[in-house]
Amino acid sequence: MGLVARLLPPGLMICALVFTLPQFGSCHPAQTSEPHRVLFTEQFIRPEVRFHWRNITCPLCKSIFTILDIALLSDANKERVAHAVGEACVHLHLAEERVCREITELFKKDFIQALQESLLWPTEACALLVGPSCGKFDIYAPWNITLPKVPKPPVTPPSPPKPGSPQSKVLVLTDIHWDQNYEPGSAADCKEPLCCRKDSSSPHRWQRKAGYWGTYGKCDVPIQTVENLLENVARAGPWDWVYWTGDIPAHNVWSQTRKQQLSELTVISRLIQKHLGPNVTVYPAVGNHETTPVNSFPPPFVRGNRSSSWLYDAMADEWVTWLPEQALKTLRYGGFYTVEVQPGLRLVSLNMNFCSKENFWLMVNSTDPANQLQWLVHTLQSSENKGEKVHIIGHIPPGLCLGSWSWNYYHIVNRYESTIAGQFFGHTHLDEFQMFYDEATMTRPVGVAFIAPSITTYLNLNPGYRVYFVDGNYQGSSRLVLDHETYILNLTEANHSPGAPHTPEPNPKWALLYRATEAYGLSSMFPSDHDGLMRTFITDDRVFQKFWYFRYKGRVSKVCRESCKTETLCYLRSGRYEQMEQCDLFNGLGGNFVRAARKTLC
């Protein structure tokens, strides 16, 4: 035991850094450009955490994990594990000492239990960390959902609705990331992963200060911005319904408690109810930040205090005015549900945390956690039988999911392309989309995953929200997205009144950034229109640069050219994770692009 104890720290250091410390990395740092060489991966790389796993040799890695496996056979070593993790974090300067200590304490019980229950062998762990030359990482091995033997119906290309046909006006809110400790006037630049807070210290004379309505940089939004948004969208209605795709809490993931998470869930849910009123139904989805530790979503077979029932039960209680009993039942079980929005239109809300690599509970079993995708197939087949159209909402876009999960989801979208009329996600904080193509040729567009911009400013963004105009409630409606608008709060203007530069606007205006059909000269936003837009991006750089500006909600200062543009277009095509891997191959990036894309830990 003495030898094991002495050798524990490096092994624990590796485990913790892989599965916990990256959790408080940024989503998309401020865009950077270099003349003649702009890599798309730069948008994803975290500015705070710099540690390169390729510096670890294969034999050392395997030795470390062998020792770790032996150590964790005894529960008595759990505290040694946690202590060593904290020490490694501090000595490697991966974060401020307080952050290291607190995040270690927060993660230790969940992560260590998941590691003990997993089948993670040293060769598998080191294949993940060091590369395939060090072993085979098959803990996320391929698996297949089962599709019914019912033949796929003939595909009829959608046609634009007749002039004057009804339309549904749908509001989408995502990635609020409300910071309870946001403090106007505090330091906007700090050493910790999240700034503009009461404990961020007072800024020096030459340092930026946190603005009243929000701040560009490593800052989330204050409650006054959330309320101002809701007041504005209430006036901008009426809304037929609302999609709310997750992430309520701030990015202070090292110091969150269950009590805090539940309090924020209650406050924001009730604010939305208050401002939008009792006649507007909101359909929520579970984000990766709703839990603590962040990204920790055990499958339903994990019971007791480590399960997610504390969160799902609270969500069901808060959302009971929006969701029927049957939807609340599956929400309590696994964080997903289905509900009829209108006759002929069904909604499916997926818990995308069961597809996330950052969910360390999937080390135990990653094969269709909670049987969610098989449930989705059953739901879609039932809707196909009844002639319903289906909208799918979730937090993490499918192209950023684990490979097998992403492949199965892509397969489902292909099979039910005539039933799935819309897909709506968030998580990246950016205004973008991902394409789905027929699996036979990968050329015919069959679907679009719309990714809405965030309300939070994190990182270097204006707050924003999305409005969709959907083919409306009438017999034979396609229920497809016809158009969409993005609105933003320009923080430069909101924090400085024209007549008093150091005084914020008392009631700032959320302004239209763009309407998609007008900005891109399209008649609708069908999958075929998006595919044509992608081709236009290639041939007309002016249109692509316009998209690039909109993608960052009006906060990009440099153009995206050459490899940056190539990889961005590849990302937009990648509704399936495997396609990003192929992009790596075609562009000679050696895996850097796909690894960076996976680090969207918003």
Tell me the per-residue pLDDT of 240-274, one tens digit each, with 9 for 90 and over: 999 999 999 999 999 999 999 999 999 999 999 99
Residue 127 CB contacts under 8 Å (≥ 6 apart), including other chains: 134, 135, 136, 137
- Spatial strand order in the sheet of 420-425: 337-342, 345-349, 389-393, 420-425, 445-451, 432-437
CA dihedral 113, 117, 120, 125 (to 10 degrees): -10
Average pLDDT over residues 37-47: 38
Lowest mean pLDDT among 228-232, 234-238, 539-543, 566-570: 566-570
Residue 116 pLDDT > 70, yes or no? no
The per-residue pLDDT for 230 is 98
The per-residue pLDDT for 203 is 77
Distance CA 216, CA 229 (A): 17
What pTM did the predictor assign? 0.87
Query: Per-residue confidence at 594, pLDDT binned at 50, 70, 90?
Result: low
Beta bridge partners of 464: 488
Distance CA 540, CA 542 (A): 5
Average pLDDT over residues 405-420: 97
Q: Which amino acid is it at 20? A: T
Residue 565 pLDDT > 60, yes or no? yes
Binding residues: 175, 177, 247, 288, 395, 427, 429
Binding residues for Zn(2+): 175, 177, 247, 288, 395, 427, 429
Strands 167-173 and 464-471, bridge-based pairing: antiparallel
Average pLDDT over residues 306-324: 97
Query: Per-residue confidence at 559, pLDDT binned at 50, 70, 90?
Result: confident
The residue behind tokens 């294969």 is 58
Distance CA 335, CA 327 (A): 10
Residue 32 pLDDT > 90, yes or no? no
- Give per-residue pLDDT as tens, 458-500: 999 999 999 999 999 999 999 999 999 999 999 999 999 776 6
What letter does residue 362 receive in the DSSP assignment? Answer: G
The per-residue pLDDT for 48 is 38
Which domains, and CATH codes, for the chain?
Answer: 39-130 (1.10.225), 167-182+220-585 (3.60.21.10)
The per-residue pLDDT for 72 is 61
The per-residue pLDDT for 73 is 61
Distance CA 233, CA 411 (A): 36
406 within 8 A of 543, measured Cβ to Cβ: no
Question: Crossing angle of helices 563-573/541-551, nearest 10°?
Answer: 70
Could you give the angle at the alpha carbon of 535 between the alpha carbons of 442 and 453, nearest 5°?
A: 90
Distance CA 19, CA 16 (A): 5
Query: Per-residue confidence at 121, pLDDT binned at 50, 70, 90?
Result: low
Average pLDDT over residues 545-572: 91
Alpha helices in 540-591 (DSSP H): 541-551, 563-573, 577-587
